[in-house]
Amino acid sequence: MALEDVKSEVLNDAEEKANKIVDEAEEEAEEIKEEARKEAEEIEEKVKQEIEEQKSSIEKEGLANARMEAKQKKLHAKQEALEEAFEEFREDLSEKVSDNREAFLENCVEQAEFEVCAVQASEEFEDAVDDLGYDYEELDEEGVIVVSEDGLKRLNFKLDKIVENYRENYRNQVAEKLF
């Protein structure tokens, strides 16, 4: 065998081995690419699922917030309606007391379970207090406070106090009638 033949055979073997290595490397590269594609698809699917879950969670949270806000607005509207009702009650009470000051004062004195000596009242009650023969003391608020002789016992009939008592005692009943 001649040197040329050996050289040619060695080159052919080397070329075959090189081609085989290149083919194997290409196959391995193709496998790696395929695995990377599959992994990328899995990651993409997971991300899509996470986004959907977050979107759903945000939608639920938004809906819950909207419901809560609507509930609060409804409650606020009910409270305003109740306040309006008690304001109207206050105005009606004031009008009725103004029309019948002496009768209102007599009723207040009758409710006292003690001997009334003085009456604290708003200015418009001064004549009625004098007519009934009690000592008059001016009060800055509309209404009447009856006072015992020793000054230790008092009954408060100020209109704001009356309305406050009605609000505390009848709020639920008024709410039931309104709503």
CATH number of the domain where residue 132 is located? 3.30.2320.30
- Identify whether residues 77 and 20 lie together within a single domain: yes
DSSP, collapsed to helix, strand or coil, labels residue 107 as helix
Residues 81/97, Cβ–Cβ less than 8 Å: no
Residues 135 and 78 in one domain: no
Evaluate if pTM is beyond 0.75: no
Based on the domain organization, do 62 and 118 belong to the same domain? no
| Residue 1 in this model has a pLDDT that exceeds 70 | no
Is there a single domain that holds both residue 91 and residue 145?
Answer: no
Range of the domain at 137: 101-178
In terms of DSSP bridges, do strands 116-121 and 154-158 run parallel, antiparallel, or are they unpaired?
Answer: unpaired
Both 84 and 125 in one domain: the answer is: no
Q: Does one domain contain both 20 and 71?
A: yes
The answer for 143, left when phi > 0, alpha when psi is -120 to 50, beta otherwise, is left
* Residue that is written with structure tokens 């408060």 in the block: 156
For 167, other C-beta atoms within 10 Å of its C-beta total 16
Q: Which residue carries 């304001």 as its tokens?
A: 87
SS3 assignment, position 115: coil
Residues 107 and 129 in one domain: yes
Rounded to the nearest integer, the mean pLDDT of the chain is: 88
Per-residue pLDDT tens over the stretch 14-71: 888 888 888 888 888 888 898 989 998 889 999 999 999 898 899 999 999 999 999 9
The domain total for the chain is 2
Domain boundary among 65, 99, 133: 99
Supply φ then ψ for residue 118, to 5 degrees.
-135, 160
Residues 79 and 11 in one domain: yes
